[in-house]
Structures are given as C-alpha cells and as structure tokens.
Amino acid sequence: MLSLLGNTKRCFWTLLLALTVFLLASLLHVDIGMLTPLLRGQDEGPPITNIMFLKTHKTASSTVLNILFRFAETHNLSVALPAGSAVHLGYPWLFLARYVEGMADGSQRHFNIMCNHLRFNLPEVQRVMPNDTFYFSILRNPVFQLESSFTYYRRYVPAFKAAASLNAFLAAPRTYYNQSLGLANVYARNHMWFDLGFDPDAPAEENYVRARLAEVEQRFQLVLIAEHFDESMVLLRRRLRWRLDDVISFRLNSRSKGSITRVTPEDQERAKRWCALDWRLYQHFNRTFWASVHAELGPRRLRSEVEQLRARRRELMALCLQDGAPKNKTQITDLRLFPYQAGDANILGYNLRQDLENKTLRMCQRMAMPELQYMAHLYALQFPKKPRKSFPLQEA
C-alpha cells in the first residue's frame, strides 16, 4: 500500500512538472524542445567513446575525421588505423579486419574508434569494433559530390581522364564509363552507394533501393548531411553526449574557389540520373536527418546551438590562424599542415599564428592538421615500435 502511494505521488509530481514546463513554454514563447531534455534525460550519461564513422568520399568527411582523431587523442582512445604503410583500410576493396594494424597478428581485439576510408563490410567491421559501437556516416548532394570527385580524381579514373570536362562527361557518361573496368571507375558513379558496400551499377529499381535504404537505417544510428554541416554537428554532439569544443572544427580538404566547376541546371539533372542510386540515398537521409533535428531539438533550440557552435569556431579561428582564414597551397609554410594535393584541385590549408603559447599551439595544430599527417601521428603513438608512415603530399 505504501509503495502504491509512493508511486502515485511520483507520478503526480512528474505530471505537475511536465504541465508547468508546457505552461511556461506557452507563456514565455519558449521552444519546448529547449526544455524537454529536463523531462527526458537525453543529455545524461557518459560520453560515447566506441564509434564507427563510415568516411564517404568528397563529403566533408575529412573534417569529421579530424574531430574524431582529436577526441581519440584527448581521451587516450584506440583508433583502428591502416596496417603497415597503407593510408586506407583496404579501399576500394571490401573491408577486411586484417587491414587494421594489430588485427592480423592478434595483438589487439577491439578499438574505440574507426574512421579511415573503407568500403563497408559489416561482419568484418564487427570483428574490430565492440558490440555497443555507435555507427554514423555523412552524405552530400551527389551532383556536387560528383563535381568534386571529377576535379580531385580525374588524372587516374579512366572515365574522367577520357572526358574533356565535367560537362562533356555528363552529356554522354556511357561514352566514357566502362563498367568492365570495375574498381578503377568507382569514383565516377554512385560513389557513396559504393562506399556503403553496394553495387554502384545496379538498376535503381524500387524494391532494391528500398531494401538497401532499410539496411543502412538499421545499421547506422545517424547519417549527417554535408550541406548542413553545423546542424549535423549539433545533432552529433547531442547523440554522443560530447562537449561543444569536441565538435568544433576548421574546414579541411576544401578546394579553392578557382578549382570548383559551376554545374548548370541541365548538368545537375543529368548527374541525378547518372547517379540515381546516390540521389535516392541522399534524398532519403536528408529527410530522416531533418525529421531527427526537429523531433530532438526544435527550430529555436537548433538556431541557438548552431549559433553557439559558429561563435566558438570564430573564436578559435581568430585565436589559431594567421588572418583567421585558409591559405592556398603556395602559401602554406608548415609541411605538417600541408594537405595532400590531387588532380586539378587546389586544396586549402592553414598557417598558424606565431605568438601561440605551447598548450594553445598544440590544440591549434591538431585542429588544422590534415588527415594523412594526423593518421601518421596517431600511428606513431599507438605503435611506437612500428616503422613510421610516410607518404607524398603531391599527386605524382
């Protein structure tokens, strides 16, 4: 009887609190999404530290990788890094656990974070990552993802090398794209679909597409959208229960404006047809992303948190960077911060201010460090007895 009375009292006070919150929200015109975590307790609990990020190509994924590398280093977490001299986890072949340093010789069973390029293969990923791993990825409008790929990879992708321009390629893609070349042309069609482990040349039939989308939804707890990067970071921070500074970043692996090709409306429609699987993928997860944002945050709280994130980024850019802006490849003075240059792209990087004290300098270096250098840095920390990784910073 006493137990029943106690439960009744708790229910009464919980209901009263909920009604009070809703009344305050109505009277003060406050978005209820800013108050409901008090009721739901969604922000409670320790930060999530077991994470698998599927790093898709030309989707702002290098910036996300930097965020994960920094979190791993700050919290002394293990990262599933490419074995030996490799810089990718077996890409473009389907991922195998043996592509990870420490897995082939059995010296390591599980890692906290996996985020280097790989072609998704769930059973093998599960050999490397713990059962409670949080899976997420990022997508970009395939029209502009294809434009970026054409510029970045055109010197060694057969379908791109044969075309005089992106416009020429999109006017008659099958003239240049030889399906029999297999992995050599994976960058030229439905590249994000391929990264997820699917067939980029499969017909875009409704039942097939729906089944694959359901597979992705079942495995990945979150799919971010590159065009809404700041909103993506707000939602990611919430899901991982991280601090604001954990998801603040400088934009990495971006191109100079002069190396970006304008895609006409006609070519945009051609690209959507040519990459129909990627287009369906993007449309679907753009919808689910915004549904999650509105359900979990609401418009007022979203605006507030995005502005907090942007304000903090501006502070750190002013603190860390010369002129507070990125530099083209001819202006970067520190090779440790010089990004890999590929194709016809001019990949931007950063120069740091000269007056930084040691602790601030280390923080700024990490935020501005390109992915190859950061991967090599973490590899040396995790495997100090292994030969150091080395790589060219300019495409041969």
Question: What is the pLDDT, as a whole number, of residue 140?
Answer: 98
Q: Which one, of 52, 47, 37, lies nearest residue 221 by Cα?
A: 52
Counting Cβ atoms within 10 Å, is residue 121 exposed (0-12), middle (13-18) or buried (19+)?
middle
Question: What is the pLDDT, as a whole number, of residue 391?
Answer: 86
Q: Which helix (H) or strand (E) holds 135?
A: strand 134-139
Question: What is the pLDDT, as a whole number, of residue 5?
Answer: 44
Helices (H) and strands (E) in the chain, counts: 16, 4
Question: What stretches of the chain show up as alpha helix (H) in DSSP?
Answer: 2-28, 37-40, 61-74, 122-128, 142-153, 158-161, 166-171, 173-176, 191-195, 206-219, 229-240, 265-274, 276-296, 299-320, 358-368, 371-382
Q: Show pLDDT as tens, one digit a residue, over the chain (396 residues).
A: 444 444 444 545 544 544 554 444 444 333 343 333 333 334 578 999 999 999 999 999 999 999 999 999 999 999 999 999 999 999 999 999 999 999 988 877 899 999 999 999 999 999 999 999 999 999 999 999 999 999 999 998 999 999 999 999 999 999 999 999 989 999 999 999 999 999 999 999 999 999 999 999 999 999 999 999 999 999 999 999 999 999 999 999 999 888 899 999 999 999 999 999 999 999 999 999 999 999 999 999 999 999 999 999 999 999 999 988 899 989 999 989 999 998 778 899 999 999 999 999 999 999 999 999 999 999 999 999 999 998 888 765
Question: What is the pLDDT, as a whole number, of residue 80?
Answer: 98
Q: Which one, of 258, 287, 289, 283, lies nearest residue 143 by Cα?
A: 283
DSSP 347: B
Question: What is the pLDDT, as a whole number, of residue 25?
Answer: 41
Query: Position of tokens 């047809």?
Result: 273
Question: What is the pLDDT, as a whole number, of residue 246?
Answer: 98
Q: Which one, of 125, 119, 42, lies nearest residue 88 by Cα?
A: 119
The structural domains of the chain, ordered by start, are 46-382 (3.40.50.300)
Question: What is the pLDDT, as a whole number, of residue 34?
Answer: 37
Question: What is the pLDDT, as a whole number, of residue 38?
Answer: 36
Rg (CA), the chain: 23
Neighbours of 69 (CB within 10 A): 23
Distance (Å, whole) CA 66 – CA 252? 8
Decide if 184 contacts 154 (C-beta within 8 A): no
